[in-house]
Structure 1
Protein backbone atom coordinates (compact mmCIF):
# COMPACT_ATOMS: atom_id res chain seq x y z
CA UNK A 1 0.00 0.00 0.00
CA UNK A 2 1.47 3.39 -0.94
CA UNK A 3 2.34 5.80 1.83
CA UNK A 4 -0.21 8.57 2.44
CA UNK A 5 1.22 12.07 2.23
CA UNK A 6 -0.54 15.32 3.15
CA UNK A 7 0.95 18.37 1.39
CA UNK A 8 0.16 21.70 3.05
CA UNK A 9 0.93 25.03 1.37
CA UNK A 10 -1.16 28.11 0.65
CA UNK A 11 0.20 28.18 -2.91
CA UNK A 12 -1.80 25.98 -5.28
CA UNK A 13 1.13 25.99 -7.69
CA UNK A 14 3.47 24.59 -5.03
CA UNK A 15 0.99 21.92 -3.89
CA UNK A 16 0.35 20.86 -7.49
CA UNK A 17 4.09 20.56 -8.23
CA UNK A 18 4.80 18.64 -5.02
CA UNK A 19 1.80 16.36 -5.59
CA UNK A 20 2.90 15.54 -9.13
CA UNK A 21 6.47 14.91 -8.01
CA UNK A 22 5.45 12.58 -5.17
CA UNK A 23 2.83 10.70 -7.21
CA UNK A 24 5.54 9.94 -9.79
CA UNK A 25 7.18 7.90 -7.02
CA UNK A 26 3.99 6.06 -6.09
CA UNK A 27 2.85 8.03 -3.04
CA UNK A 28 -0.84 8.73 -2.37
CA UNK A 29 -1.11 12.52 -1.96
CA UNK A 30 -3.81 14.76 -0.45
CA UNK A 31 -3.63 18.55 -0.39
CA UNK A 32 -4.49 21.27 2.11
CA UNK A 33 -4.06 24.99 1.51
CA UNK A 34 -4.00 26.31 5.07
CA UNK A 35 -3.00 25.29 8.57
CA UNK A 36 -6.66 25.00 9.54
CA UNK A 37 -7.39 22.76 6.54
CA UNK A 38 -4.38 20.59 7.43
CA UNK A 39 -5.61 20.03 10.98
CA UNK A 40 -9.10 19.21 9.69
CA UNK A 41 -7.69 16.75 7.13
CA UNK A 42 -5.63 14.99 9.80
CA UNK A 43 -8.68 14.74 12.06
CA UNK A 44 -10.41 12.82 9.24
CA UNK A 45 -7.49 10.61 8.20
CA UNK A 46 -3.96 10.61 9.62
CA UNK A 47 -1.34 10.47 6.87
CA UNK A 48 1.98 8.69 7.17
CA UNK A 49 3.84 11.92 6.49
CA UNK A 50 3.08 15.61 6.05
CA UNK A 51 4.98 18.07 3.86
CA UNK A 52 4.35 21.43 5.50
CA UNK A 53 5.02 25.06 4.53
CA UNK A 54 5.80 27.65 7.22
CA UNK A 55 4.35 30.88 5.92
CA UNK A 56 0.58 30.61 5.55
CA UNK A 57 -2.23 32.94 6.53
CA UNK A 58 -4.00 32.02 9.76
CA UNK A 59 -2.26 29.16 11.52
CA UNK A 60 1.33 28.97 10.27
CA UNK A 61 3.37 25.82 9.81
CA UNK A 62 5.18 26.13 13.13
CA UNK A 63 1.88 26.23 15.04
CA UNK A 64 0.45 23.31 13.03
CA UNK A 65 3.55 21.30 13.87
CA UNK A 66 3.41 22.19 17.58
CA UNK A 67 -0.27 21.22 17.80
CA UNK A 68 0.38 17.89 16.13
CA UNK A 69 3.37 17.15 18.35
CA UNK A 70 1.25 17.90 21.44
CA UNK A 71 -1.14 15.07 20.48
CA UNK A 72 0.20 11.71 21.70
CA UNK A 73 -2.06 9.92 19.20
CA UNK A 74 0.04 11.40 16.38
CA UNK A 75 3.48 10.25 17.55
CA UNK A 76 4.02 8.26 14.34
CA UNK A 77 3.23 11.17 12.02
CA UNK A 78 6.38 12.32 10.24
CA UNK A 79 6.67 15.99 9.24
CA UNK A 80 8.93 17.52 6.60
CA UNK A 81 8.96 21.29 6.46
CA UNK A 82 9.33 22.45 2.85
CA UNK A 83 9.71 26.21 2.90
CA UNK A 84 11.48 29.29 1.61
CA UNK A 85 12.14 30.38 5.20
CA UNK A 86 15.68 30.06 6.50
CA UNK A 87 14.81 29.48 10.16
CA UNK A 88 15.78 25.82 10.55
CA UNK A 89 16.15 26.22 14.29
CA UNK A 90 12.50 27.26 14.72
CA UNK A 91 11.38 24.40 12.48
CA UNK A 92 13.19 21.74 14.49
CA UNK A 93 12.11 23.40 17.73
CA UNK A 94 8.49 23.06 16.56
CA UNK A 95 9.07 19.34 16.04
CA UNK A 96 9.75 18.63 12.36
CA UNK A 97 11.59 15.49 11.31
CA UNK A 98 13.31 17.14 8.36
CA UNK A 99 13.66 20.55 6.75
CA UNK A 100 13.96 21.25 3.03
CA UNK A 101 14.28 24.49 1.08
CA UNK A 102 11.68 24.88 -1.70
CA UNK A 103 14.13 26.55 -4.03
CA UNK A 104 16.93 24.00 -3.65
CA UNK A 105 15.58 20.68 -2.40
CA UNK A 106 12.32 20.12 -4.32
CA UNK A 107 13.92 17.54 -6.62
CA UNK A 108 15.24 15.63 -3.58
CA UNK A 109 11.85 15.59 -1.85
CA UNK A 110 10.77 12.05 -2.89
CA UNK A 111 14.05 10.59 -1.63
CA UNK A 112 13.80 12.48 1.65
CA UNK A 113 10.18 11.31 2.06
CA UNK A 114 11.28 7.69 1.59
CA UNK A 115 14.14 8.15 4.07
CA UNK A 116 11.93 9.72 6.75
CA UNK A 117 9.24 7.06 6.34
CA UNK A 118 11.85 4.34 6.88
CA UNK A 119 12.97 5.86 10.20
Structure 2
Protein backbone atom coordinates (compact mmCIF):
# COMPACT_ATOMS: atom_id res chain seq x y z
CA UNK A 1 0.00 0.00 0.00
CA UNK A 2 1.08 3.58 -0.61
CA UNK A 3 1.35 6.43 1.88
CA UNK A 4 -1.84 7.89 0.44
CA UNK A 5 -3.66 4.57 0.97
CA UNK A 6 -2.55 4.44 4.60
CA UNK A 7 -3.60 8.05 5.18
CA UNK A 8 -7.02 7.79 3.51
CA UNK A 9 -7.75 4.54 5.39
CA UNK A 10 -6.86 6.14 8.71
CA UNK A 11 -9.09 9.14 8.05
CA UNK A 12 -11.98 6.96 6.87
CA UNK A 13 -11.90 4.52 9.78
CA UNK A 14 -11.42 7.30 12.35
CA UNK A 15 -14.77 8.74 11.23
CA UNK A 16 -16.76 5.74 9.97
CA UNK A 17 -19.54 4.15 12.00
CA UNK A 18 -21.02 0.87 10.76
CA UNK A 19 -23.95 1.42 8.41
CA UNK A 20 -23.31 5.12 7.70
CA UNK A 21 -23.86 6.35 4.17
CA UNK A 22 -21.94 9.62 4.66
CA UNK A 23 -18.62 10.11 6.43
CA UNK A 24 -17.43 13.69 6.91
CA UNK A 25 -13.80 14.72 7.35
CA UNK A 26 -11.51 17.73 6.96
CA UNK A 27 -8.21 18.31 5.21
CA UNK A 28 -6.50 18.79 8.59
CA UNK A 29 -7.26 15.14 9.38
CA UNK A 30 -4.76 14.14 6.70
CA UNK A 31 -2.01 15.94 8.63
CA UNK A 32 -3.14 14.25 11.84
CA UNK A 33 -3.09 10.86 10.09
CA UNK A 34 0.49 11.50 8.92
CA UNK A 35 1.48 12.17 12.53
CA UNK A 36 -0.36 9.08 13.80
CA UNK A 37 1.26 6.86 11.16
CA UNK A 38 4.72 8.45 11.60
CA UNK A 39 4.72 9.44 7.92
CA UNK A 40 6.42 12.65 6.84
CA UNK A 41 3.69 15.22 6.31
CA UNK A 42 2.41 15.52 2.75
CA UNK A 43 3.05 19.05 1.42
CA UNK A 44 -0.14 19.28 -0.66
CA UNK A 45 -2.81 17.72 1.54
CA UNK A 46 -5.50 18.52 -1.04
CA UNK A 47 -3.84 16.08 -3.43
CA UNK A 48 -4.96 13.15 -1.30
CA UNK A 49 -8.73 13.50 -1.88
CA UNK A 50 -8.06 14.61 -5.47
CA UNK A 51 -6.12 11.40 -6.08
CA UNK A 52 -9.03 9.22 -4.96
CA UNK A 53 -11.63 11.31 -6.74
CA UNK A 54 -9.95 11.26 -10.14
CA UNK A 55 -6.84 9.09 -10.37
CA UNK A 56 -6.93 6.03 -8.15
CA UNK A 57 -9.42 3.63 -6.60
CA UNK A 58 -9.94 3.70 -2.85
CA UNK A 59 -8.26 0.89 -0.90
CA UNK A 60 -10.20 -2.38 -0.71
CA UNK A 61 -10.65 -2.00 3.05
CA UNK A 62 -12.77 1.11 2.39
CA UNK A 63 -14.53 -0.21 -0.72
CA UNK A 64 -15.59 -3.32 1.19
CA UNK A 65 -17.59 -1.17 3.64
CA UNK A 66 -20.01 -0.13 0.89
CA UNK A 67 -23.09 -2.29 0.29
CA UNK A 68 -23.34 -4.31 -2.91
CA UNK A 69 -23.82 -2.23 -6.08
CA UNK A 70 -22.56 0.95 -4.40
CA UNK A 71 -19.18 2.65 -4.16
CA UNK A 72 -17.72 5.23 -1.84
CA UNK A 73 -17.02 8.53 -3.58
CA UNK A 74 -15.36 11.63 -2.15
CA UNK A 75 -17.02 14.99 -2.64
CA UNK A 76 -16.06 18.46 -1.50
CA UNK A 77 -18.50 19.94 1.02
CA UNK A 78 -16.83 23.29 1.66
CA UNK A 79 -13.46 24.88 2.17
CA UNK A 80 -11.06 22.05 3.12
CA UNK A 81 -13.96 19.77 4.08
CA UNK A 82 -15.01 16.57 2.37
CA UNK A 83 -17.36 13.66 2.64
CA UNK A 84 -17.24 10.01 1.68
CA UNK A 85 -20.67 9.16 0.27
CA UNK A 86 -22.20 5.95 -0.90
CA UNK A 87 -23.24 6.22 -4.50
CA UNK A 88 -24.11 4.12 -7.49
CA UNK A 89 -20.82 3.09 -9.08
CA UNK A 90 -18.76 6.23 -9.43
CA UNK A 91 -16.26 4.92 -11.98
CA UNK A 92 -16.88 4.37 -15.66
CA UNK A 93 -16.25 0.75 -16.56
CA UNK A 94 -15.68 -0.65 -20.02
CA UNK A 95 -18.72 -2.54 -21.28
CA UNK A 96 -17.47 -5.90 -22.54
CA UNK A 97 -20.18 -6.37 -25.18
CA UNK A 98 -19.40 -3.13 -27.05
CA UNK A 99 -17.21 -2.92 -30.10
CA UNK A 100 -13.94 -1.04 -29.63
CA UNK A 101 -13.67 2.07 -31.78
CA UNK A 102 -10.09 3.03 -32.53
CA UNK A 103 -9.33 6.74 -32.25
CA UNK A 104 -6.13 8.11 -33.77
CA UNK A 105 -3.59 9.51 -31.31
CA UNK A 106 -4.03 13.28 -31.64
CA UNK A 107 -1.19 14.26 -29.32
CA UNK A 108 0.91 17.05 -30.88
CA UNK A 109 4.41 15.82 -31.78
CA UNK A 110 6.08 18.43 -29.56
CA UNK A 111 4.13 17.18 -26.54
CA UNK A 112 4.98 13.55 -27.35
CA UNK A 113 8.65 14.44 -27.56
CA UNK A 114 9.11 16.74 -24.57
CA UNK A 115 6.37 15.70 -22.15
CA UNK A 116 5.58 12.04 -22.78
CA UNK A 117 2.76 10.80 -20.58
CA UNK A 118 2.26 14.20 -18.94
CA UNK A 119 -0.56 15.64 -21.05
CA UNK A 120 -3.80 14.46 -19.41
CA UNK A 121 -5.99 15.60 -22.32
CA UNK A 122 -3.86 13.67 -24.81
CA UNK A 123 -4.08 10.58 -22.62
CA UNK A 124 -7.85 10.64 -23.11
CA UNK A 125 -7.33 9.93 -26.81
CA UNK A 126 -5.29 6.80 -26.15
CA UNK A 127 -6.64 3.35 -25.42
CA UNK A 128 -4.89 0.64 -23.45
CA UNK A 129 -7.57 -2.00 -24.02
Task: Bin the TM-score by the shorter chain.
Answer: under 0.3
Normalising by structure 1, report the TM-score.
0.26
Instruction: Give the number of the structure whose residues are more often helix, by fraction.
Output: 1
Instruction: Give the number of the structure whose residues are more often strand, by fraction.
Output: 1
